Amino acid sequence: MSRVAVVIVTYNSADVIEGCLASLPDGAKGARLSGVVVADNASKDESAAISDRMAGPGLPVRTVQVGRNAGYAAAINAGVAALDLDALDAILVLNPDCRVRPGSLAVLAEALRPEGRGITAPRLLNPDGSLQPSLRRTPTILRALIESVIGGNLAGRIGSLGELVTDPRHYEGPDGAEWAWATGAAMMISAKAWREVGPWDESFFLYSEETEFTLRAADLGWTLWYEPSAVIEHIGGDSGVNPALAALLVVNKVRLFRRRHGSIPGAIYYLAVILGEAVRALTGRRTSRESVATLLRPSRRLQAQAG
C-alpha cells in the first residue's frame, strides 16, 4: 500500500477547502494517507480555521502558515518541507478547489511504479462532469506561431500542432500516456523524484511553476504519466476571465521559454505570443488586451511577476 501525503495551497479559500478536504478519505482508499498539509498563504478569511477544524483520525490535517502571500510554488515547498519524505512514496499537490474521486490517490501512486516515472496526472473534470483539458506538449516557437494564427483550442485538435491538448481522444480510454507537462492543479510526484529534482521554482509566483518543475524533471530523466482512471474534479480558476491573472500567465510562459532556450529563441517566442494576443485583443478580448500591454511594458511585466 503506497504511503501518500497531500499538500494543498490555500489563499482565501474558505469557500472550497472544506469540500476538498472532505473528499480525501474516500479519495485515498487503497493508499495510506500519511499526512495532509494545508500551506496557507496568509489568508484573510477562515481557510486555516476550517482546515484545523477538519482534522481528525481519518484525516491527518495540519496547517502550515507561510506568513505572506508567497505564491503557489513557495507554498508547495513550505508544505513539502513539513513532511518526512523518507516515510513517503509520493506527494499529491492539490488546489483547494479540487475534489478527489474515490480511490484516485492509489491509482496515481500505482502509476508511479515503473522506472523513470516521476509525476502522474489525473483526468480533470469540470463540476458539470465535462472534460477539463489539462495535458500539454512541449512549448516551441512553431507551436506558439500556429496558436497565434488559428488559436490554441483548434491547434490542440490537429495532430500535435498545439501545446494545449484539446482532442478528447487523448483523454479517453483506459490507457495512459506520457506527456510533456500538465496543469499543476492536481499532480502526484514521487518522493524519490522530488528529492532529485528539488523544490519548485519560487520565482514564478503563479503559473508556469508546474511547467518549469515538470520540464526540469524531464531533464533529469523523470517522465510525466497521464492516468485517466484517476479522476479529480476541478472547479477552476479565473485566469480566463481575470485580465491581470491572464497577463501573468502569458508573461510567465514567455519568461520560462527564454530561461530554458536563451535570448534569441526567447525573443522570437515573445513576438509569436504577442502576435497571438494582439489578434485576439482586436476582437475585443479584455484578457488579451491586458496581456499585450503587460508584455510590451517592462514596468507592468515586473509588477505581474511580483504577483
pLDDT (tens digit per residue) in 234-270: 997 555 567 888 888 899 999 999 999 999 999 999 9
Closest CA to 93 of 109, 112, 106, 80: 80
- The CATH code of the domain at 3-133+171-234 is 3.90.550.10
pLDDT (0 to 100) of residue 200: 98
Report DSSP letters for 41-99, one per residue: ---SSSHHHHHHHH-BTTB-EEEEE-SS---HHHHHHHHHHTS-GGG-SEEEEE-TTEE
CA distance 1 to 137: 32
- Asked if residue 4 lies in contact with residue 85, where contact means CB atoms within 8 angstroms, the answer is no
Torsion of CA 162, 168, 174, 178, to 10 degrees: 10
Beta bridge partners of 182: 135
Closest CA to 165 of 250, 108, 241, 226: 226
pLDDT (0 to 100) of residue 301: 46
CA distance 113 to 228: 16
CA distance 38 to 291: 31
Give the SS3 label for residue 170. Answer: helix
Structure confidence by residue, pLDDT tens digits, 87-124: 999 999 999 999 999 999 999 999 999 999 999 999 99
Angstrom distances, CA of residue 192 to CA of 90, 116, 199, 257, 269: 8, 10, 12, 27, 34
Q: Does residue 301 or residue 9 have the better pLDDT?
A: 9
- Asked if residue 102 lies in contact with residue 29, where contact means CB atoms within 8 angstroms, the answer is yes
The grid coordinates of residue 260 equal: 530554458
Amino acid, single-letter form, for residue 295: L
- Asked if residue 213 lies in contact with residue 108, where contact means CB atoms within 8 angstroms, the answer is no
pLDDT (0 to 100) of residue 290: 87
CA distance 256 to 77: 19
Domain locations along the chain: 3-133+171-234, 243-305
Mean pLDDT computed over 182-190: 97
Mean pLDDT, rounded, of the chain: 92
CA distance 36 to 232: 17
> In the chain, what percentage of residues exceed pLDDT 90?
77
> In the chain, what percentage of residues exceed pLDDT 70?
95
The answer to which of 111-120, 186-195, 288-297 has the lowest mean pLDDT is 288-297
